[in-house]
Structure 1
Amino acid sequence: MNFKDRYGPWALIAGASEGTGRAFAQHIAEQGLNCVLIARRTAPLNELATELRRDYGIECVTASVDLSAANALTQITAAVGDREVGLFINNAGADTTNTHFLDRPIEEWIEQANRNVSTVIRNCHHFGQQMRQRKRGGIILVGSGSCYSGASYMAVYSGTKAFDLCFGEGLWAELKPHGVDVLNLILGRTDTPALRATLAKNKLPIPDDLASPDEVAKVGLAQLPHGPIHNWGQTEDEAGYAPNSPAMRRARILAIDAATKDIFGG
């Protein structure tokens, strides 16, 4: 199948208003998929939707949703309606707190956990069931290299990204036999408005080695059939900043999956 047949007719992009989310939407629209664009800010979503309709002739739906809210999925499914979502991209969840865990109110960390964990698994459960039934589709969980280690300024963030990594690996093993692709796209430093704002706040220069959102989206979509992991800037057999390579993790996932099938009688 070509891209549109495999992942269409609609793509849902959470965190679509800027940066890599916006780039994903542009590349997906170029492939002919209609888009449901989700983020908190309405104005940039509507601007992007107008651009995609004009440049690619696709249909586009936008919805302002706080992905940390308990009813985020309800709002998303209301926006989707009866449209058939064949591709879900979770691009939301940048860490803009940049403080020690004990120095901020617990409510802020709960919001981050809701956005990066609870809403992610709710979306994957809802749209993953539909993809499994159709025996086609794709899910991209945009992650961060912080998933491989905790750090004092991102205890909650790295913890949620580690969860997403393991969750995505398990989902890949579960949905692979049903023709549904799952990819953890693990990024390093990427030139996004969120990163630029953090650097400006701390009066730091912009590094010259940042990844481009356009290239990130292009590579992520190309790697989707080859999950469960792609570490940005690294090869399949290279560990780099991770404890082990994607190839080694894939082999381990399949071995554990086979063992658990024996245990649970799957």
Structure 2
Amino acid sequence: MIDPQYYGPWAVIAGGSEGVGSSFADELSKIGINLVLIARKPGPLEETASKARANGVEVRTLALDLLVPDALDQIKAVTDDVEVGLLIFNAGANSYGHEFVSGEMDGFRGVIELNVHKQLELSHHFGALMKERGRGGIMLLGSMSGYMGSETQSIYSASKAFGRIFAESLWIELEPFGVHVLEFVLGVTRTPAMARMGLNFDIPGMNVSEPEDVAREGLEHLADGPLWVAGGNYEAVKKRNGFPRDKMVKGAAEAMRKLLNR
């Protein structure tokens, strides 16, 4: 498990009310890290908060739709007086799955706003503070969808591909300052969000992960950036992509520095 002195005393979990987000809250509270939980639904949010408080930590909740224009300002209002050592961005479900040419552009824009713009805003704000302190961690939740195109998920898949490349770039920028960045890629996980999408978890041979197992795995590999694939899917992804990613990203960065005479 992670070091609470390195990643504490507070953690912010965006998308922290149910499923993997709730499991992250449970795991972190058990090791004494205080929590700021952000999610749209007040009911599940308070249920997760109560469970975490029972483990002896302080918990602040913010019932918030991250798509509202002043979302970052509201988050700052509940975090500016505490030291946040860990950001987990888990708020990235496919909010609008539709065939592209017959879909509504506003729906697609919402997917991009959540999975790209809001992820950038929170990473920029908390990452800068962590860099100044010389410690901390940022975990960005990715998806296997980000490795290939898929019908009715074109924008979601593309946004997840963006998130993966962004995480690798942020990882190499912040590593010299003691800040760990990890793109934690999920496969099929038994969460309420995936159930609402209509996923069939009972297909024979399907590798289905449980939220609590996924949360523990992600925290265990937080310092193993820039990429970790959950639930035994690492080898499946490895066959389609160059690995190990840390050496590849560092090698490419060094080549670019020489190209730019830095």
Instruction: Pick the TM interval, shorter chain.
Output: over 0.9
Name which of 242, 256, 259 aligns with 2:255: 259
C-alpha distance in structure 2 between counterparts of 1:29 and 1:125, whole Å: 25
> 2:53, 2:59 within 8 Å by CA — same for their partners in 1?
yes
Provide the C-alpha distance between the structure 1 equivalents of 2:70 and 2:239, rounded to a whole number of angstroms. 34
Identity level (%): 39
- Whichever residue aligns with residue 31 of structure 1, its letter is I
Q: Which amino acid aligns with 1:66?
A: D
SS in 1 for 2:32: coil
* Equivalent position of 2:237 in the other structure: 240
How far the C-alpha of 1:264 sits from its partner, in A, is 4.2
Pair 181,205 (structure 1): closer, same or farther in 2 beyond 3 Å:
closer
Distance 1:219 1:118 in 2: 26
Q: Compare 158-167 and 71-80 and name the one that shifted more.
A: 71-80
After superposition, the Cα gap between the structure-2 partners of 1:20 and 1:92, relative to the gap in structure 1 and judged at 3 Å, is same
Task: Provide the secondary structure at the position in 2 that maps to 1:190.
Answer: coil
TM-score (norm 2): 0.93
Shift, 1:94, TM fit: 1.0
Query: CA 1:58/1:265 → structure 2, altered by over 3 Å: closer, same or farther?
Result: farther
Judge conservation of contact 1:148–1:242 (CA < 8 Å) in 2.
Answer: no
CA contact (8 A) 1:68 1:112 kept: no
**Residues 180-220 of structure 1 deviation map (CA, whole Å, 9 limit, x = unaligned):** 111111111000111112227xxx56447420000000000
Q: Is the 8 A contact 1:96 1:194 kept in 2?
A: no
Tell me the residue number matched to 2:220: 222
Q: Which amino acid in 2 is paired with 1:262?
A: K
More helix by share: 1
Shift of 1:12: 0.2
Q: Give the partner amino acid of 2:144.
A: G
Q: Which moved more, 1:23-32 or 1:207-216?
A: 207-216
C-alpha distance in 1 between matches for 2:210 and 2:201: 17
Contact 1:199 1:205 in 2 (8 A): no
Distance 1:263 1:221 in 2: 36
TM-score (norm: length of structure 1):
0.91
More deviation, 169-178/238-247: 238-247
2:209 to 194, 208, 211: 211
- Which structure 1 segments of 5+ residues have no match? none
Q: Deviations over 1:81-107 (max 9, x none)?
A: 311110000011111433212233111
Number of corresponding residues: 260
- 1:195 matched to which residue of 2? 194
Distance in 1 (alpha carbons) for counterparts of 2:260 and 2:79: 35
Could you give the per-residue CA deviations for residues 112-161 of structure 1, whole angstroms, max 9, x where no partner exists?
Answer: 11100001011111100111111100011111001111112111000100
Structure 2 residue 110 is the aligned partner of structure 1 residue 108:
no
Partner of 1:85: 84
* Runs of 4 or more above 3 Å deviation: 204-209, 233-236, 238-242, 263-266
